[in-house]
Amino acid sequence: MLDALKAYLNHDRRNGEWLIQELSNWEIIKEMLLQPQGQEMPKLTCGLIYSAMLTIYDKEKGSLANFWPDAEKQRRANPGKTAAGASVGTLGNFILLLLSHLYDLKAFVLNLPHYFQILARFASLGPEARAMMLRARIVGRCMDFFFDGASPYRGLFGDVTDLGPVITREEPELGLPTMMDKKVRTYF
């Protein structure tokens, strides 16, 4: 089944773009990648995301490379405002979404390797991807994350607004996870 899905993603770049756009929602990432009790769903999710990354990277690598200079130019022109007009493309936006939720990962220790596997696979795509991650200060943010309360870097890396605005898919076609009401009602 996984081979068929990967073949479908590799067949047309638009399929990969669609998948990455649909997964650009933190609630879906948590459900499919971080919360599953078994290891099959996170592995499947990582494999599909990587296949999608491979298909769209060549098209979007220019926007990854140009994002940070555009963001710097906008910050100089409008001090105190985020770089709302800079575009990183679908793939860059997805990675920024993951990076902006780095500090939310403490509750998902079991599946942390899958989260970092996606970031590592993104970095393996090419120099533009690695440059984007370095400019997003991924090394310092990870050090701060792993040092947790003892981190001397929290003031420097804890604020993720410097990543710019992240476009979240509010109503994905895949559907959002069902939120259960925490109150248990009984009528007996």
**Is residue 186 domain-resident?**
no
**Is residue 183 domain-resident?**
no
**Is residue 174 domain-resident?**
no
SS3 132: helix
**Is residue 9 domain-resident?**
yes
pLDDT at 163: 80
What is the rounded average pLDDT for all residues in the chain? Answer: 80
pLDDT > 90? residue 127: yes
Verdict on whether the full-model pTM lies above 0.95: no
Over range 83-107, report the average pLDDT: 82
pLDDT at 79: 56
DSSP per-residue letters across 55-107: HHHHHHHHHHHHHHHHHHHHHHHSTTS--TT---HHHHHHHHHHHHTGGGGGG
36-to-29, 108, 112, 116, 125 alpha-carbon distances in Å: 11, 10, 12, 16, 27
Share of the chain above pLDDT 70, in %: 80
- Containing structural domain, residue 124: 2-163
Over the stretch 146-172, which tens digit does the pLDDT of each residue have?
888 787 877 788 778 778 778 888 877
Q: What's the structural domain count of the chain?
A: 1
pLDDT > 70? residue 75: no
149-to-43, 139, 144, 153 alpha-carbon distances in Å: 30, 17, 9, 10
* E strand or H helix that includes residue 119: helix 112-123
Of 185 and 172, the structure prediction assigns the larger pLDDT to 172
